[in-house]
Structure 1
Amino acid sequence: MCDIGSSCFVVPRAYSYGIYQHQEDMPAFNLNETRIAFMLRKDKFKYVAVTNERQRRVPLPEDRVPPRGKELAYPEAVLLVDPLEPEFKGEVDDKYQYSCENKDNKVHGFICFEPPVGFWQITPSNEFRTGGPFKQDLTSHVNPTTLAMFVSTHYGGEDLVIKFGEGEKWKKMEKEVGKWPYSFPASEDFPHADQRGSISGRLLAQDWYISEGNIAAKGAYVGLAPPGKDGSFQVEAKGYQFWTNADEEGFFCITNIRPGPYNIYAWIPGFIGDFRCDKDIVITTGSEIDVGDLVYAPPRNGPTLWEIGVPDRSAAEFFVPDPNPMYINKLYINLPNDRFRQYGLWERYADLYPDEDLVYTVGISDYHNDWFYAQVTRKIGENAYQGTTWQIKFNLDRVREGNHTLRIALASATFSILEVRINREEANPPKFSSGLIGSDNTIARHGLHGLYWLFNLEIQSSQLIQGQNTIYLTQARSASAVHGIMYDYIRLEGPPLHDYSPSQIKA
């Protein structure tokens, strides 16, 4: 076994880059995906390594083809029924089981043991990648194939398609490099280290219902991306992005930034919503910009009455079931943090809730065990499905005058419609409908997050009662087994309080 964080083998290096250009005389054009694919010798490279933990021997490409392999719900997922090497019999192979987030996608590849040599795709800079640090993409997979992904809609869908209007002028350079930023490229499109700039500062959070003072944005993801709206970085694909993590005190520094106009974007684990600086930032050659203290005031109208989950843009804290024994990838049996990468977990919802849907009781239920990781459809026939309705039950000792606020953060949505009803399951129209949202396909692609969504609903006190209340969450679209949503975090806030202290609210 090889630790891919260390030097395993000494091999020749090759550097690659691409320059993408849409000229003024070109027609309108959509760019969905672009990548470099390295196809290796199947008789030599039989061991894949994506991370220090996610590495294993892999089956052969012919094992995926009938009659040795049986296609499952979609072509990428294949059940190995008669592989050439018996150790793989009964496993599921799917290239999406080896996906990785941009922030962690630094090195992956294959190992050949005879002779001892490795083939590694190394990417020390993410500036060319689209969608921000949490965007996921393919790495290495059975064939054997190693990918350098430049642009894709994986885990993002239609929102990440790069769309050019007729005559729209655009150019972008994409790179995989061994030392960043390196000095030998002669292209005028590549700024060298002395032509780049840097930015530093500190990010704080301001939530008076938690603390009387500002809170250091510990571990915040802070980045520069082209100017846009709140959260627009996650669907931005034409420009460049530069990201870092803030330290324990919220301080951050981003270096080697290409000259140009940007905005500062951020999100803070533990807080909902997106930060965006109210001023654009212009990076020039050699600039060293200190923006000082930036303060993010996350959405908040009143004290927390109850909450479900953790605001971290992921469904990781919720219940991920054991896989169907018929559909197992052995790599993930002993990797608890990656158990969600097994095929067909969406089908386990109907096994756990065959007749009635999920009911969560605040104060009694535990979201780690009682909140399924994805709200999916239920199969009711050979090729028929129905939407599902989850319930949140909670007690109010009294109903205060004024508007309450229900905040629903989604970690993913795939061709779904979220409807919310308050104390009346049959209410028509519902209190809220998202309309058709999402195309990130995260459920089928073994992920726990795609694009982030935040919905904020006002609930009048007249809609609530003293005693037990119920919120009904319906995923109303039922066209497929893998259409559905993943929740990140749900919070009910009471009406605003005046003349309070945070310590009184906590009590």
Structure 2
Amino acid sequence: MRLKHLLSLLPGAALFSAAAAAIDVVQSSTTIKVSNARLNATWQKNIGAIVDLTLDGRDLLGTQSGSTGIGPYLDCYCIPTGFYTIGTNTPTWEVVSGSDGSGTPYIGVILSDTYKPTNQTFQQYWFLRGEETGFHMFTRVAYYNTATPFLRNLQELRTLFRPNAGLGLWTHLSVNDNQWAPLPSQEAMQKGVVVQDATWSLKATPNDKYVTQFSEYFTKYTFSSDWRSTIAHGMFADGSTSNGTSYGAWLIMNSKDTYFGGPLHSDLTVDGIVYNYIVSNHHGEGTPNITHGFDRTFGPQYYHFNSAPGASLTDLRRDAEALGTPGWNADFYASIEAHVVGYVPSTSRGKWSGKISLPKGATRPIAVLSADGYSFQDNAFDTKALQYWGEIDAQTGRVSIDRVAAGKYRLTVYADGIFGDFVKSGVVVAAGKTTTTSATWKEESAGKELWRVGTPDKSSGEFRHGVTPSTLTPLAPPEYLIFWGAYDFPSDFPTGVNYTVGVSDPARDWNYVHWSVFGPTPNRAEQASVNTADWTVNFALTPAQLAGRKTATLTIQLAAVKGASGNTDVLSPTEPWANVPLTAYVNGREAGTIVAPWYKSSSCAVRSAVSCYQVAGKVEFQASWMKKGWNQLVLALPENATDTETAVLTDAIYVQYDAVRLEVK
């Protein structure tokens, strides 16, 4: 199907003429109007947002009502009192124009706003280029205040495309091929019953398309995704509300270097709003502190709007995904560098390539360049940090990453099937050059492996209620995405988890969450604590496996831990489970404890995720504690461990296993 999409965006296509690409600008004391042949946008100056947006004459936003019917616009959770919408305090506006190296004209709309009580400065940039049907977006946050050198953390920074639901245009939400659904109707949401923060039971409208095709629960967390796999996400109109013409509104992550948290970072993408969560910690990732001298520019990302008669959701999403590479429009970004404060110019970028000898069995290997001296999940500690990653060819070990800002990086390599990571510090990338790194990654080992439970892939998805497709609806979403409260642990495991190595099935006999206490849920009024906190692993050993062995090592990799800090990384001294202990007992003896510290807590499973902040530890004990025949390992959380929750979330303490391995030497 031929989409209404710029030929000039496609590799090798002929450029349109400058005359055909004319962009009109009309500015008054209250508004700025920018338009090309297809896209028309109006900014309302006193609220800092686009309030009218049309594609080929079709209204994409609807009527403005409060904070709906507007966007893309910028807000944050970053001032002392919490949320702030940029442009509502002391906004100033600038319109810039020019032509890029190909002669294609562009218009830039720049909003600057200073929050005077703290002297926080914000800038939001929108650029429209030629006949493109979308906006190239940059965001800057700066803080200069010697009187208050530490302000707070930058907890959320996001841009939003937020249509009015009353418009009645949009019909579907989409993240990827396996994560999409009809948009719940207004009736379904009005009759929905809140069962958790931003989570509703839609049982009152059983015939709603979302309920019949996807799930009886709707939560914004269902459509969260990790940054490694996310390219373009957004909303789709299937033509039923628009005379047969389909429409799409997409946020395209064509660059990811100014986010934090590396490829494991995950957050919300779309729920009736199309988000760009620039900084966030819904799943417990670190966020930067706002201190005197903080000055960071984020982006570019691209809000893209497309349409075609009769186009499918896949058609329009593929059209958007084709733009999701750092090299797309790189020449254009070089042309506007002077307008964007803090953007790393093309002349200060280079290329990195690697040749990594991988351990046997490594699948989906990836190389990450991040702030030197930090785990990539902790790179928010360096407010200047940039990050890059590339998929490694599992056969050749080769990988390359373009447009890397010059500087010193930490290289991290990890892969499914392999315990631990490969880490190399001090990788220097020079501007205008290609830096090559060759390395051999040897999997960590503490001796001869006796057994493992799960696959080391930084996820608990392989376990029960993880990535297994739901059988309840035609779209068959992975079970973990639906809502943790849709499942009942005491019913699934009436005698607790009792797993036998070599006999049990991880997808059936090991839950994706190890709860200290379970519930309550919509179907269980009281919390359940019997057979929840202690999990048992049974394993048989032969004399040959034990002969001459002195030390046993239990490796525990956790895909997430939820302590009293939740997702905030704020220490609560009065909470008993700020730090979460997980204790191993071997044949009745206490072998040791790994402790997940408060600053590595995640709000993972309860926010529909199986991979969040990673925690790993090892427990060593005497091999003589084990015997010929059957042995027993117990993994124990504190019983009835809960915290104080300020949001409508379960107060249970829990962990999510990535993989567990026992070795001897």
TM > 0.5 fold call: yes
Match of 1:444 in 2: 606
Would the aligned equivalents of 2:188 and 2:208 in 1 still touch at CA under 8 Å?
Answer: no
**Partner Cα distance (1:9, 1:338) in 2:** 32
Are residue 469 (structure 1) and residue 631 (structure 2) matched? yes
Amino acid in the other structure paired with 1:148? N
Superposition deviation, residue 289 in structure 1: 0.8
Are residue 266 (structure 1) and residue 429 (structure 2) matched? no
Would the aligned equivalents of 2:377 and 2:613 in 1 still touch at CA under 8 Å?
Answer: yes
**Partner Cα distance (1:315, 1:183) in 2:** 42
Match of 2:276 in 1: 148
Superposition deviation, residue 32 in structure 1: 0.8
Match of 1:31 in 2: 154
Per-residue CA shift, 1:58-103, capped at 9, x if unaligned? Answer: 12456434xx12110x221111244597445682110110111102
Per-residue CA shift, 1:140-177, capped at 9, x if unaligned? Answer: 11xx211011000022x2x5121244x35442333213
Decide which of 158, 173, 177 is 1:52's aligned counterpart: 177
Are residue 234 (structure 1) and residue 395 (structure 2) matched? no
Superposition deviation, residue 404 in structure 1: 1.1
Superposition deviation, residue 126 in structure 1: 1.2
Superposition deviation, residue 431 in structure 1: 2.3
Would the aligned equivalents of 2:459 and 2:610 in 1 still touch at CA under 8 Å?
Answer: yes
Decide which of 286, 289, 292 is 1:163's aligned counterpart: 289
**Partner Cα distance (1:363, 1:52) in 2:** 34
Q: Label 1:180 to 1:223 Cα distance change in 2 as closer, same or farther (>3 A).
A: farther
Amino acid in the other structure paired with 1:54? Q
Would the aligned equivalents of 1:306 and 1:492 in 2 still touch at CA under 8 Å?
Answer: yes
Match of 2:562 in 1: 414
Match of 1:373 in 2: 512
Equivalent position SS for 1:350: helix
Are residue 306 (structure 1) and residue 455 (structure 2) matched? no
Equivalent position SS for 1:440: coil
Superposition deviation, residue 205 in structure 1: 3.7
Are residue 283 (structure 1) and residue 283 (structure 2) matched? no
Would the aligned equivalents of 1:217 and 1:246 in 2 still touch at CA under 8 Å?
Answer: no
Higher relative contact order (CA 8 A, sep 6+): 1
Match of 2:484 in 1: 344
Superposition deviation, residue 257 in structure 1: 0.6
Match of 2:576 in 1: none
TM-score normalized with structure 2 length: 0.64
Per-residue CA shift, 1:324-374, capped at 9, x if unaligned? Answer: xxxx999x83455623212235742111123x2111111222223222222
Decide which of 340, 343, 351 is 1:198's aligned counterpart: 351
Match of 1:393 in 2: 538
**Partner Cα distance (1:190, 1:363) in 2:** 54
**Partner Cα distance (2:641, 2:412) in 1:** 35
> Can you give the 5+ residue segments of structure 1 that lack an aligned partner in the other structure?
207-214, 496-507
- Larger Rg computed on CA atoms: 2
Equivalent position SS for 1:224: strand
The 5 A counterparts of 1:59-208 are 59-61=184-186, 63-65=188-190, 68-72=191-195, 74-83=196-205, 86-88=208-210, 91-112=216-237, 113=239, 114=242, 116=245, 117-141=247-271, 144-155=272-283, 157=284, 159-165=285-291, 167-177=292-302, 179-181=328-330, 182-185=333-336, 186=338, 187-205=340-358
Match of 1:499 in 2: none
**Partner Cα distance (2:612, 2:464) in 1:** 18
Runs of 4+ residues deviating >6 angstroms = none
Would the aligned equivalents of 1:205 and 1:217 in 2 still touch at CA under 8 Å?
Answer: yes
**Partner Cα distance (1:379, 1:111) in 2:** 35
**Partner Cα distance (1:40, 1:310) in 2:** 41
**Partner Cα distance (2:470, 2:364) in 1:** 32
Match of 2:575 in 1: none
Amino acid in the other structure paired with 1:147? Y
Q: Label 1:217 to 1:22 Cα distance change in 2 as closer, same or farther (>3 A).
A: farther
**Partner Cα distance (1:216, 1:383) in 2:** 44
Q: Label 1:343 to 1:482 Cα distance change in 2 as closer, same or farther (>3 A).
A: farther
Superposition deviation, residue 226 in structure 1: 0.6
Q: Label 1:349 to 1:253 Cα distance change in 2 as closer, same or farther (>3 A).
A: same
Amino acid in the other structure paired with 1:76? A
Amino acid in the other structure paired with 1:264? L
Amino acid in the other structure paired with 1:162? P
**Partner Cα distance (1:51, 1:218) in 2:** 21
Would the aligned equivalents of 1:414 and 1:442 in 2 still touch at CA under 8 Å?
Answer: yes
Decide which of 123, 136, 146 is 1:15's aligned counterpart: 136
Would the aligned equivalents of 1:103 and 1:126 in 2 still touch at CA under 8 Å?
Answer: no
**Partner Cα distance (1:310, 1:299) in 2:** 15
**Partner Cα distance (2:270, 2:329) in 1:** 23
Superposition deviation, residue 265 in structure 1: 1.4
Superposition deviation, residue 450 in structure 1: 1.0
Match of 1:453 in 2: 615
Superposition deviation, residue 56 in structure 1: 2.9
Equivalent position SS for 2:490: helix
**Partner Cα distance (2:175, 2:405) in 1:** 29
TM-score normalized with structure 1 length: 0.83
**Partner Cα distance (2:474, 2:559) in 1:** 25
Match of 2:14 in 1: none
Match of 1:257 in 2: 404
Would the aligned equivalents of 1:24 and 1:169 in 2 still touch at CA under 8 Å?
Answer: no
Superposition deviation, residue 403 in structure 1: 0.4
Would the aligned equivalents of 2:591 and 2:621 in 1 still touch at CA under 8 Å?
Answer: no
Per-residue CA shift, 1:300-346, capped at 9, x if unaligned? Answer: 021111111111111222222899xxxx999x834556232122357
**Partner Cα distance (2:663, 2:486) in 1:** 31
Equivalent position SS for 1:368: helix
Equivalent position SS for 1:160: coil
The 5 A counterparts of 1:480-495 are 480=650, 483-495=653-665
Would the aligned equivalents of 2:470 and 2:479 in 1 still touch at CA under 8 Å?
Answer: no
Amino acid in the other structure paired with 2:478? D
**Partner Cα distance (2:396, 2:372) in 1:** 26
Per-residue CA shift, 1:100-139, capped at 9, x if unaligned? Answer: 1102221121223205332221221111222111221111
Superposition deviation, residue 433 in structure 1: 4.0
Would the aligned equivalents of 2:181 and 2:475 in 1 still touch at CA under 8 Å?
Answer: no
**Partner Cα distance (1:51, 1:7) in 2:** 19
Would the aligned equivalents of 1:124 and 1:180 in 2 still touch at CA under 8 Å?
Answer: no
Equivalent position SS for 1:126: coil
Q: Which stretch shows the higher mean deviation, 79-88 or 279-288?
A: 79-88
Equivalent position SS for 1:285: coil
Are residue 478 (structure 1) and residue 641 (structure 2) matched? yes
**Partner Cα distance (2:137, 2:467) in 1:** 41
Match of 1:423 in 2: 587
Per-residue CA shift, 1:20-51, capped at 9, x if unaligned? Answer: 22336353121111101111132212222222
**Partner Cα distance (2:5, 2:526) in 1:** 50
Q: Alignment identity in percent?
A: 22
**Partner Cα distance (2:663, 2:202) in 1:** 50
Equivalent position SS for 2:508: helix
Amino acid in the other structure paired with 1:396? L
Q: Label 1:321 to 1:403 Cα distance change in 2 as closer, same or farther (>3 A).
A: closer
Equivalent position SS for 2:260: coil
Amino acid in the other structure paired with 1:234? Q
